[in-house]
Structures are given as structure tokens and as C-alpha cells.
């Protein structure tokens, strides 16, 4: 394994490489979207939905890693950077800019 990232600038390409399969990224995007919807509902309807938002976000991501990508989620080693990167990947996907970011990171 290459050297572990020491800065977020080093982590971001590492994170993208850990999400090289489209199915993994799709599960991440779905889980993040569901988590955001549940966060809004938790704020508007009931705080009891807050744990469901957390579970939704991580459940689909971890299914992607264990069943599709077959790797260990980066969140186990880099929890904060992984959370930030998940939202970054989600919003890049929403903006249609994720593919160019993957290419820049060397993820095919």
C-alpha cells in the first residue's frame, strides 16, 4: 500500500481511489442524499429522525465498500476527512463535475 495521506490534499485522491467502482459511488450518493433528506425531516418534523440520517449515510456507503469495492472504508482511519470527502464527492456529482475530478486523481 502507498504511504498513508498526511494532509487533506493527499487524502482526497486516496479517497477517490477507494471509490473507483461506479456502484460504490452510486451507493454513496444515494446514502448521502437520503441522509440529507432525513436531516431536513429531523429539523422540520422530529429529531427522532436524526439517528436514521446517520445510519442511512453510513449504511449505503459501507455496503458499497464491503460488497462492491471490496475494501475497508476510509472512515475507519480518517473519520472527519471521510465525512468531508463524502459530501464533496456528492456535491461534485450533483454539479456534474465528479468524472473530471476522478480523472484528475487518476481513477479510471
The tens digit of pLDDT for each residue in 49-93 reads 999 999 999 999 999 999 999 999 999 999 999 999 999 999 999
Mean pLDDT (whole number) for 87-103: 98
Domain ranges of the chain: 20-104
| Res. 4 pLDDT band, cuts 50 70 90 | confident
Cα-based torsion angle of the residue sequence 40, 46, 52, 53 in order, rounded to the nearest 10 degrees: 20
> For position 108, what pLDDT does the model report?
83
State percent of the chain over pLDDT 70: 98
Cell of 37: 433528506
Query: What does the mean pLDDT of the chain come to?
Result: 95
Contact residues for 104 (Cβ-Cβ < 8 A; gap 6+): none
What is the C-alpha separation between 68 and 24, in angstroms, rounded? 6
Amino acid at each position: 500500500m502507498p504511504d498513508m495521506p498526511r494532509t487533506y490534499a493527499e487524502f482526497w485522491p486516496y479517497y477517490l481511489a477507494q471509490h473507483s467502482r461506479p456502484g460504490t459511488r452510486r451507493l454513496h450518493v444515494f446514502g448521502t442524499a437520503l441522509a440529507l433528506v432525513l436531516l431536513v425531516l429531523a429539523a422540520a418534523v422530529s429529531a427522532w429522525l436524526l439517528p436514521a440520517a446517520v445510519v442511512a449515510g453510513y449504511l449505503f456507503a459501507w455496503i458499497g465498500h464491503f460488497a462492491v469495492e471490496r475494501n475497508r472504508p476510509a472512515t475507519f482511519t480518517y473519520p472527519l476527512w471521510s465525512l468531508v470527502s463524502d459530501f464533496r464527492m456528492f456535491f461534485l456529482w450533483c454539479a456534474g463535475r465528479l468524472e473530471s475530478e476522478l480523472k484528475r486523481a487518476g481513477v479510471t
